[in-house]
């Protein structure tokens, strides 16, 4: 499987309230190339920047810039903003029917969830602003909310964002991009064709085929979480569903020795210390997700969060 590093929730110079954080599309792309990202989604507030979807190149590297939008309702006092990816045009009215390829991402500081299936659970700028310890409290609160949504018989995707409009920026793009990242899991790679690669990214994000991580603690590339049934050809990854007949084997691989927790329907069912690779057999349906944590100066910090694999009765 391929691993595509992707950042979402980024503001450019078109978001006038961020004049303290100048960022042209070129500046952001160069920072993304510095940090080894494969793709970046910009999401200016109530502005869809037409004509800026393109690849940027540096030597053997390339990075795909795609434009989305943050939509807010000026008539709503709270609970009014969400990120829109894949709409391909200015929407003007947030209550219009959802365009075919659009992904709407709920922000955790809002109060609505009706039409959403994606939620930002971690934000790099908030993490840097509040500090790691306080950010851990925020993340655990958000993960409890995430589990509540999942237990309400809904398939939700958790993601990490980069910027937030509520904080005056004092961080470089390199600092932001290297703090947290979305790791998209794909059976095919980006091939340099703009149309193909854009649709691939949108499809994978919509399906929840990703995990996200605080890569500032340690590079999370190489993490894997999968499920295999009796049919060896049927392998599920985060965001996928798999049918349970007799049993399912879950496989977890971590790029660094860590504390690893397996969560079923919101509850921790197994925890491993100093885990790098482990198989685990399950016999019950439900949704299963993984959290990994690193011990730094005798304190345990959440590091990697996978999206769920959905196990249904076969």
Q: Enumerate the domain spans of the chain.
A: 2-213, 224-313
pLDDT computed for residue 48 by the predictor: 83
pLDDT computed for residue 49 by the predictor: 83
pLDDT computed for residue 90 by the predictor: 63
Q: Kindly report which listed range (85-99, 139-153, 197-211) carries the lowest average pLDDT score.
A: 85-99
| CA–CA dist 21, 23 (Å, integer) | 6
Task: Please determine whether the domains at 2-213 and 224-313 fall in the same fold group of CATH.
Answer: no
% of the chain exceeding 90 in pLDDT: 72
Judged against a pLDDT cut of 70, whether residue 232 lies above it is answered with no
Superfamily of domain 224-313: Immunoglobulins (2.60.40.10)
Residue 244 exposure: Cα atoms within 13 Å on the Cβ side: 19
| CA–CA dist 281, 100 (Å, integer) | 38
Residue 195 exposure: Cα atoms within 13 Å on the Cβ side: 0
19 pLDDT band (50/70/90 cuts)? very low
| CA–CA dist 240, 242 (Å, integer) | 7
What's the angle, vertex CA 17, arms to CA 14 and CA 18, rounded to 5? 75
Confirm if 100 and 74 have CB atoms less than 8 A apart. Answer: no
Q: Kindly report which listed range (75-89, 140-154, 295-309) carries the lowest average pLDDT score.
A: 75-89
Judged against a pLDDT cut of 50, whether residue 95 lies above it is answered with yes
Q: Which residues contact 15 (CB under 8 A, 6 or more apart)?
A: 44, 45, 47, 165
Exposed / middle / buried, residue 60 (Cβ in 10 Å: 0-12, 13-18, 19+): exposed
- Across residues 261-279, what is the average pLDDT? 97
Judged against a pLDDT cut of 90, whether residue 75 lies above it is answered with no
Q: What is the mean pLDDT of the chain?
A: 89
| CA–CA dist 212, 220 (Å, integer) | 9
- Across residues 285-303, what is the average pLDDT? 96
213 pLDDT band (50/70/90 cuts)? very high
In CATH, the architecture of 2-213 is Alpha-Beta Barrel (3.20)
98 pLDDT band (50/70/90 cuts)? low
pLDDT computed for residue 224 by the predictor: 98
Judged against a pLDDT cut of 80, whether residue 231 lies above it is answered with no
Cut 0.85: pTM above it: yes
| CA–CA dist 310, 294 (Å, integer) | 26
């Amino acid at each position: 499987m391929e691993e595509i590093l992707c950042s979402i929730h980024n503001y450019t110079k078109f978001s006038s309230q961020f004049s303290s954080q100048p960022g042209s599309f070129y500046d952001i792309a160069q920072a993304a190339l510095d940090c080894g990202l494969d793709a970046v989604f910009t999401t200016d507030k109530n502005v869809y920047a037409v004509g800026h979807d393109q690849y940027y190149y540096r030597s053997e590297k390339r990075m795909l810039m795609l434009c989305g939008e943050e939509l807010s309702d000026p008539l709503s006092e709270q609970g009014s903003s969400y990120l829109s990816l894949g709409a391909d045009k200015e929407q003007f009215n947030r209550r219009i029917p959802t365009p075919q390829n659009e992904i709407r991402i709920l922000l955790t500081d809002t109060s609505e969830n009706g039409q959403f299936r994606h939620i930002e659970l971690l934000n790099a700028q908030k993490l840097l602003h509040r500090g790691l310890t306080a950010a851990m409290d925020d993340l655990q609160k958000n993960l409890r909310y995430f589990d509540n949504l999942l237990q309400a018989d809904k398939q939700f995707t958790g993601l990490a964002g980069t910027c937030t409009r509520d904080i005056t920026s004092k961080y470089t793009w390199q600092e932001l991009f290297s703090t947290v990242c979305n790791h998209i899991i794909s059976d095919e790679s980006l091939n340099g064709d703009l149309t193909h690669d854009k649709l691939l990214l949108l499809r994978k994000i919509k399906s929840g085929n990703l995990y996200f991580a605080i890569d500032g603690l340690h590079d999370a590339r190489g993490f894997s979480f999968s499920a295999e049934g009796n049919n060896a050809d049927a392998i599920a990854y985060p965001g996928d569903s798999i049918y349970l007949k007799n049993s399912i084997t879950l496989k977890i691989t971590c790029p660094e020795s860590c504390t690893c927790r397996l969560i079923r329907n919101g509850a921790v069912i197994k925890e491993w210390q100093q885990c790098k690779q482990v198989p685990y057999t399950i016999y019950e349906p439900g949704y299963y997700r993984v959290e990994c944590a690193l011990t730094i100066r005798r304190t345990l910090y959440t590091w990697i969060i996978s999206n769920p694999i959905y196990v249904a009765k076969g």
